[in-house]
Structure 1
Amino acid sequence: MFSRIQKKLFLTVTSYWAFSVTFYQFLTIYNFEQKWVGFISVGMLSLTALLIPYKILRYPVYLISSLGGLYILIPMSETKFFPWLANFYAKLQEVSQIFVSGRANFLPHEMAAVLLLFTILILIELLVEFKQVWLSALFLVGYLLILAIYNSQNFYLPILLVLAVGLLQHFYLNQQKQNVPHRSFFPIIFLLVILAVSAVYLPKEDAQRAILSQTSHFRNWLNDKGVYHLIQKQDLPQATRTGFSENDEQLGGPIFDDNQIVFEALQTKGHYWRVESKSLYTGSGWQTSQRERAVSNQSVNQMTYATFESKQQLTLPEEIAVKIAYQGTYLPIPYGLVEINLQTNEQIGLSHSIDSDRIDASESLEAASVLMNWQDLDYSLSDLASVPLSIPKGPVNYLQLPDSLPMTVQSLTESLVAEQETLIQKVQAIESYLKTDDLFRYSKVDALYPDPEQDFVAHFLFESHVGYCDHFSSAMTVMLRSIGIPARWVKGFASGDPMAVEEDRIRYAIRNNDAHSWVEVYFEGYGWLPFEPTPSFSQPLQEEEDETVETTNLTSESTEQSFTEEQVDSTNETASIVEEAESSDTVVQAEQNNERVSLQLFGRLIGAIAILFLAFGTFYLHKWRVYLITILLLRWKKQPFEAAYPYLLKQFEPVVKRQNNQSLIEYAYQVEQVIPSFNQKFIDVTKIYEAQLYGRQSVINKEQLMKIKQLAKQISQTKIKAPVK
């Protein structure tokens, strides 16, 4: 037994940490109370593999250890083991039938625990008994990645631990062939223990933030290609996808792109589509106040809608034709003056709430056609320079904030506007801070949920600094309110993707990806005006010629939950269409710059991968060059052995110098004395060569050919050097 422990101790100890840490992540995700049982269960399985050499005894102990762990992890109504076992078996049958029949779209935690524990059992047996290192490592890494994706978690340290264990085990097995003393591995085992404890207990935010920052472009590219949406289509409860949502009470967390078209619009230029505003901030999200839900105007099939006050100027009217594909009752509307006409013979009621500026139909608008006569707002930011701060009249409090909001939000805002005098300057200062400061990073897939007791905006401003439009727009709205500037949170859609030019107009496709949120600020005489704090988005109503706002020169390149991101793949087509229809050199140049940056980043990623493959290939070829060259000589030379043996002979000469009068067989014996690990292989091959050289054998059989290959392989695997005297 001592000999078995000596041979298998390193593999057992290292694999224990990899398997137990992985099992711990599973128990955490599924909210098992007795998480410590995972370490005990995996430990019992590992000890069984280490101590019991006979399968007839080892396998029953495996089973008993597994059932013992499940007995503690999954308590039933029965406290005694055998009644528990009967109930557990019945429960397992029940959930298995539900899952297999398709009545459940998730794997019940009882079945998941059984499957994972027994999979770990099999992998421990394969690793400890049969030394299948990479099979175990690849399974654990793959499982942790799946667990992370489907549950919005980050398991970077556990994955690094598993990979480190795999590499060390591979290194150990190679070194074992060269009889390296086992005591040299105890420092490695100690380091693995430290790494495993770190993977479970130490804070991971800094490491996660660094890794997330370096990989965000690649993961956003995966999101654009629909990888995360494909995962989300499994209908797991943790997943959230982009699109217009009625419920905004709990904001945060990652979102995944959905490219489904919501509606199409035939128009002369792109613009934001407004649906509603929400005024009640709770600390975790936004709600519609009682007043905002009140209906102010009603009509049938037609309605006039306006979002401006007396000083506001308007552009010349144009016609917009909208084709709706969604099933909701809400109607997206552009800013300005809009005359709405539903193209239908049915009597469909339209209702308008002035306080939220939301229009709803009395029934679903799916497949409806809407004709809009539209006049856009016509103002510049310079027009707002002299507008003083004022509070809009009405029952809705646009300065409302929860008592739980940390004072640090107001302190930060006051420091940002300390040197600003006018209302527009203060608004722009806050907008520019969120949009251009390097502290903040736009990402849909890296956004985190705040803790239940944390304020959503404060968590974003002072801790995570990562988010999408919900984060940036909510932050700006709350910051403005904290210093007494009336503001409200607005939802709707960004401009969408130009699809085709039809006569003098462009057909835009607005998708779930284009759902978006932004901010409105009240300016007396002009009304509620939109502002865009989210990086890489531009508010079409703000003039680009105004140099005080640098953040209006970018075009949308990403979309989100409530909330959106234009597709990078379509930027070339978008640029050409917009250039034809609008002759907008600025927009075209911005889109081309975005595409060039994306291609550069993707090229760097491909280059890094190519360098890694090149480095690995160079290392592999160098290590196995003797074996590979021998194979080529045996295959392509007319006298293969006469070419291969002299090449193999040269590999030993740097270590054991051959004398001029020394025969080959004498030299072979001398080499084997210096390097005994070859176990007569060089002597056997030398005898074969001499037999062929001196005419005693003209043809090499398969067995002899195999001996030559084995010698070449061992030379490649062994670092040939003379023993230290």
Structure 2
Amino acid sequence: MNEYVQKNWKQVVFLFIGFVFIGEWLRPLEVVTDTGDIFYFLVFVLVSFVLLYFHINRWLSYTIKLLIILFSINRIHFDIPIIQFEWVGMFLNDIIVGTGRLVSQEWMLLPNPFRTILFFTLLWIMTYLVHYWLNVKKSMFLFFILTLVYITVLDTFTEYDAKISMVRTIILGFLLLGILAFEKLAVKENIQASAQVFQRWIIPLVVIVSITSLFAYAAPKAEQPKWPDPVPFFKSLNPNSGSGLGGVKKAGYGEDDSQLGGPYIGDATIVYETEVQEKHYWKIETKEYYTGKGWITKTDQTNTQELEDGISPLPPDPTKPSVTESVRGLTNFYPHVAYPYGFERVTFDSKPNYQVDYHPYTEKLRPLAKGEPVSITNYTVQYRKPVYRIDKMENITSIEDVNDMEELSESEVIEAKSIYEVYTQLPALLPDRVKELAEEITEESSNWYEMTKEVEQYFDNNGFVYEETDVLTPGDEEDYVDQFLFESQQGYCDNFSSSMVVLLRSVGVPARWVKGFTGGEFVKNLEEGKSQFNVTNNNAHSWVEVYFPGVGWVPFEPTIGFDNNVSYQKITETRNIDSEDTATEASAPVDQQDVQRNQILPDEDVGGEESVTDETVVTKIKNYILNNWFKLFVLLTVVSGTIVYIFVKRSRWIPYLLLIRYKFRKQDLSKAYIALLKQFERFGLKMEEGQTLREYAHYIDSFFGTREMTTLTREYEKQLYGNSEEANWIEMRELWENLIKRTTG
């Protein structure tokens, strides 16, 4: 084996082990994150190493890598053939949006394709660094240790099983360190690294590593770990850690509500960025079965239907104007759609060929790709704000009233009775005092609507407190609602909403538990009367819906400090009078910050629609500056820095302007000579006070090692003092150009 073959063989070994190491960093992503497939990332790393091995031209290498990135992004994020270029416009829009959010430090709002670009960039840098460490520095110990620490931590604290990864990394790592040690020793001792010398080193190394690895694998091991599990220890250091019974949960939407209760801590992570005409609740799902500890869905979860073109199966009120609002959901958060009341249609911006799966009981909307639920980034919802008729709701006193409702067909009557049976369910072990309290609250009410309003307002008038941290968890023999109503009387939305549903069911009013988000935090005013809100995990919320035959499911809000901004309408027999009960929704218990934020929003008339006010040019400019101050600051900094840089480096670019200016002029030595003196001054060769032109010319020639300035000065003096005819400008211009070019370096 000659030296050239040996050298390249070792490079192949180096790059192979480097590829394996980077692969160990990528494999856990499929388990600990929502990354679906790392195949494209592994291909990119492999191709990058191959290009480095063959020393491909830099620009050709860049082109190949960029093509792989574009192809991968198309396959990962856009379910559109790459030859159909509609996806390119979507992709460019994601780049523009992502760049803006990166500059404004809105990390959680970065679009998925932009995140993938950043990840490919990171892999690009990693492959170069690994190649540099292996083939130039001959040192990989730090990266080897970091890889071991990385997979060990993931094996300990996540579901990722890293046993094989650790064995593979240790074996290859020790082999690599041994080969690199030989390389450095050969250079240090000036040893001729022939094939024979290399074999004498590598064969014992492989034997030792193999024997120790086999011995470690075959050695007897304890059935149980001798060291205690470090996870409980680390969790014990944080008093806010843990989940489940007795633990502190984080704010946010979750699907498992079978065990409610206990404190929670806030989480300001942004989940959705919305552009809306007015602030409202965002519904996700409902649950119908109360267990005494929490809520579950007992209906068949597979009995779903596909919505054609994303159109809602629940017909909204056609008398209200249609409103279109956009939602930007954050990466890998929830595989469902959050939608407003009166929802008509959902349209996905980036993947128009998504299917929409709808569950008729939970009313949960899930986008599907190839039959599997997926998280979505951008979508648009169209809705008509509903207005609920109080006079119709007041006509319902019992479920038997549906038999006398002429507007209901026979099938609708059957459906109403079926809904009544499902949504008046209560656990058999519900304490009697809960039902007694419900009867006491509603004893003076004559219909379902009055009962509902009495229960909704009960919490405001009987000493209940909104609390997030000092919240009890029911014991094995305790009922969740009973504990809240009669013992603690303090809690958050789950306590209030669950209690209202149970109280209403106790007096025969069908009700259900609803989950979603409140409207979020105001960010800025937008064009066309819209406003931007950021919906965070802190805005996760639950409320109540009550079923009124002939009207449908109507939302109510029992939680202290919250208002769902629902409009009610009552029509009397003598004249039509709109008596709408509207309020500005709060995303948390009312505080001064909420009041100030709501004052920024556009005023609302009685119908809930926005009234447009004229803004002066000064006000618009002021609002624009306030809403975009960080971007403007960055832009001003960049522009100012560019101007300063151009000014500081003017001695480098002004000579080129002068060369262009005097290239085609004739007999203009005087002006050209003065311009040359100014350029020397900018360059740092300033003429001293009292110094003659010839002395200065000698100084310049000494600096550059020429005689050109002296010759040019002599001709300039002859022309200046009139002792000779015009100098030969063509010859002098060549000297002048040579001198001025020297100041560009």
* TM bracket, shorter-chain basis: 0.3 to 0.5
TM-score by length of 1: 0.45
Q: Whose radius of gyration is greater, 1 or 2? A: 2
